Chains A and B, each alone.
Chain A
Amino acid sequence: AQRVTQPEKLLSVFKGAPVELKCNYSYSGSPELFWYVQYSRQRLQLLLRHISRESIKGFTADLNKGETSFHLKKPFAQEEDSAMYYCALRGHNAGNMLTFGGGTRLMVKP
């Protein structure tokens, strides 16, 4: 079975501070990991995926297979980063479904 855990429901930081949103997963094979973001009054959208090794809006995430983690990081948080963030995993099961974590609400204070 595949499972995604986001241990923090709420993360509050000041503008300019570093931010790390934690994501741990459980999967027996080689998964694909994603971060989705939902800004206030906007729809859920893809932020980044691990296979692309990209930086989006200053965010990066590295897949650590040894620790089964995919933490989302940004060195200097901005107020516009305040949103709900979901980590998701795609295994290689029937249907190649995404499994989402419970989400972390990031609040960046001025």
Chain B
Amino acid sequence: DGGITQSPKYLFRKEGQNVTLSCEQNLNHDAMYWYRQDPGQGLRLIYYSQIVNDFQKGDIAEGYSVSREKKESFPLTVTSAQKNPTAFYLCASKGGSLTTDTQYFGPGTRLTVL
């Protein structure tokens, strides 16, 4: 266990506020990902980064933003523009070549908008 951590475990936000979720990994992985997990919908990709200082939108990027200033860190900001932000957020990282696909997942952050 360990290697990739997310904080906080639970997060509460008032409507209209931005909030940032932390994701850190010490696995020396180049690629990092943010997913949103909703019941019955599986995991949906929000953003991903294959290398430092570069990131790409996933399938549901609207209302979210990310940065990748360091290899170890890939924070996700949920902005007030996100219409339905209450969800479980998972961060993942992947090492090796692009064709090696074991993604290692963090423990997740549950965001609740009050």
Q: How far is the CA of A96 from the CA of B101 in the complex (A)?
A: 9
How many chain B residues sit at the interface, stated as a range, is 20 to 34
Which of the listed residues B1, B90, B101 has the most CB atoms from chain A within 10 Å of its own CB?
B101
Q: Is the CB of A95 within 8 A of B40?
A: no
Q: Is the CB of B43 within 8 A of A43?
A: no
Q: How far is the CA of A1 from the CA of B40 in the complex (A)?
A: 20
- Chain B residue with minimal CB distance to A86? B42
Which one of B40, B42, B101, B104 contacts A100 once the chains associate, using CB atoms below 8 Å? B42
Q: Is the CB of A102 within 8 A of B103?
A: no
Q: How far is the CA of A96 from the CA of B104 in the complex (A)?
A: 16
Q: Is the CB of B107 within 8 A of A43?
A: yes
Q: How far is the CA of A4 from the CA of B59 in the complex (A)?
A: 14
- Nearest 9 pairs between A and B by C-beta? A100-B43, A44-B105, A100-B42, A102-B42, A43-B105, A103-B42, A96-B98, A43-B107, A90-B101
A: residues with CB less than 8 A from B are 4, 6, 9, 32, 34, 43-46, 49, 86, 90, 95-103
B: residues with CB less than 8 A from A are 1, 35, 40-45, 48, 50, 56, 58, 90, 92, 98-99, 101-108
